[in-house]
Structure 1
Amino acid sequence: MIPVQQGYAPTPHSYVPNTNLSATINLDEEVKLAETRAERDLQDSLAELFSIIISLDELEKAYLKDAIPEAEYTEICERSLRQYKALLADEKIAKEFKSLEEFKAQWDIEVPRATERIRVGMPSTTVTASSSSSTAPAPSHAASNTSGILILEATQEFITFLDAVKLGLLSKDQLHPLLSDVIQSVNKVTDKDFDNRGKIVQWLITLNQMKATDELSEQQARELEMDIQQAYNGFRQTLT
């Protein structure tokens, strides 16, 4: 007689099921990850942060491979960074998120490009001026007027920022937007790496790593004012 093969291990005759280990939930019932609306909102926000971080990393890869135009990259990157910062402005979300490094470790994700972009707080096209800008002589009167307007706007952004520092506006949420306007307006005028341009970028990174309500010390404020004044002088020299 050919033995019948069993699809499972035979159970000893002495085995008696332990009813205390029986399932106490309905296996057909949907398991909820959150019990309250607040918990669901928190989980949704953390999921959105996860998505933004992953998307930023992929965006940086695409930009490095020239797989996306500069303008499109800049727009998407700036929007993603704004969303990231806006979500973490909520204290409950920030408390659960803890820090980028802890969040990455918790979910076991390796995103070096997104990590650097979040640390810097601005697109690569802002850190390094776009090659599309130019200081070459304008071919027409209309183009010359446009260039003059851009130079005027950049000059006004420098002056506005320096005035803010002199008036004692020293918190991150006061200075970072103004300094961002400076570098963006400068990039529209020239792609030259003029004297002390790098100091604008370094101060942007420093401010980006501060909490929104953190303020610069008096010494930092003096250094900031001097550095940006020198950058302004360097910018003006490119126009002569």
Structure 2
Amino acid sequence: MQPPPYDAAIQQQPSKPPRGKYESLSPTPASMKQEIKLINNAAERRKYEDLADLFSIIKATEHLEIAFARDAISEDDYTAACSKLISQFKSTEAAVLAAKTVADARAFMTEYHMDCPRAVERLLRLGVPSTVLNPSVDDGRGDAIKVAETVQYFITAMDGVRLEQRAVDELQPMLTDIMTSLRRVQGLPAEFLGSKKLEEWLVTLNAMRAMDAITEEQARQLLFDLDQGYSSFHAWLKSLD
């Protein structure tokens, strides 16, 4: 019997595995087996949770404003959602500022490259839903009811200032009520002075924290502006007769 050719004999030989392929790995050093902790204590966990909440609130507000601008959400649903986000933003911002985690909301947005111009306008500058400043033309209620509500809101706000209510979280809701009611009164001129002054005050108060209070000088000016707005509103009503 003739031996197989040389090439065939080579092919019949079992192939050897590459060196080191099946060799056992060297033991992993103990230092590499240590668990890496992203959070070391409850305070750090709370800090990162607050930052995550702030990030999500800003992003959610941006998307909500876009949806409202595209008429993808009703005014009532938008107003409810926006008011809730504004309230959540204020409480969360207060928490991160108190913990000195960030300098302010604008610095936070810059640090994390957040391009959210609509959220900046709504949360940082105005602090009220768009429907407060620009409501629909008619909400289905009579003009007499709207006028009566506006007068009531003016009186309530002026009485509050006279009773030495100075905190932002006391004054801002009252001014928001007046602004909302004024915008719903049909025929009121867009350049109505009372609306302009109220919007300026809302911007001023929104730049402050809820626990902050206006000074006595500011309170005196606010009362003066409210009284002027109330008188101007009455003068406009008389001009309709």
The TM-score normalised by the length of structure 1 is: 0.75
Kindly report the root-mean-square deviation, in angstroms, between the aligned alpha carbons of the 2 structures: 2.8
**Which residue in the other structure is 1:26 paired with?**
33
Deviation at 1:191, TM superposition (A): 6.8
Equivalent residues of 1:150, 1:189 under 8 A apart: yes
Give distance in 2, aligned partners of 1:92 and 1:233: 40
Q: More deviation in 230-239 or 151-160?
A: 230-239
Deviation at 1:99, TM superposition (A): 0.6
Aligned match for 1:206, one of 199, 204, 207: 204
Deviation at 1:236, TM superposition (A): 3.3
Q: More deviation in 107-116 or 214-223?
A: 214-223
Aligned match for 1:38, one of 24, 37, 43: 43
Q: What per-residue deviation string (whole Å, max 9, x for no partner) do you get for residues 71-114 of structure 1?
A: 22221111100111122233666521321121012211111111
Equivalent residues of 1:46, 1:93 under 8 A apart: no
Q: What per-residue deviation string (whole Å, max 9, x for no partner) do you get for residues 121-179 of structure 1?
A: 01111122333347xxxxxxxx65xx544433322211011011122222322211221
Equivalent residues of 2:93, 2:105 under 8 A apart: no
Q: What per-residue deviation string (whole Å, max 9, x for no partner) do you get for residues 166-195 of structure 1?
A: 222223222112212222333444473334
Deviation at 1:120, TM superposition (A): 1.0
Equivalent residues of 1:172, 1:207 under 8 A apart: yes
Equivalent residues of 2:47, 2:96 under 8 A apart: no
Give distance in 2, aligned partners of 1:71 and 1:237: 32
1:23 to 1:126, Cα distance in 2 relative to 1, 3 A: farther
Equivalent residues of 1:172, 1:215 under 8 A apart: yes
**Which residue in the other structure is 1:88 paired with?**
93
What stretches of structure 2 of length at least 5 have no aligned partner? 1-28
1:93 to 1:171, Cα distance in 2 relative to 1, 3 A: closer
Equivalent residues of 2:133, 2:183 under 8 A apart: no
**Which residue in the other structure is 2:161 paired with?**
165
1:191 to 1:201, Cα distance in 2 relative to 1, 3 A: farther
Equivalent residues of 1:133, 1:191 under 8 A apart: no
2:174 matches 1:174: no
1:94 to 1:149, Cα distance in 2 relative to 1, 3 A: farther
Deviation at 1:237, TM superposition (A): 4.4
**Which residue in the other structure is 1:101 paired with?**
106
**Which residue in the other structure is 2:66 paired with?**
61
**Which residue in the other structure is 1:196 paired with?**
194
Deviation at 1:201, TM superposition (A): 1.2
Matched residue count: 209
Give distance in 2, aligned partners of 1:92 and 1:221: 26
What stretches of structure 1 of length at least 5 have no aligned partner? 1-21, 135-142
**Which residue in the other structure is 1:132 paired with?**
138
Q: State which structure, 1 or 2, has the greater radius of gyration over its C-alpha atoms.
A: 2
Equivalent residues of 2:96, 2:102 under 8 A apart: no
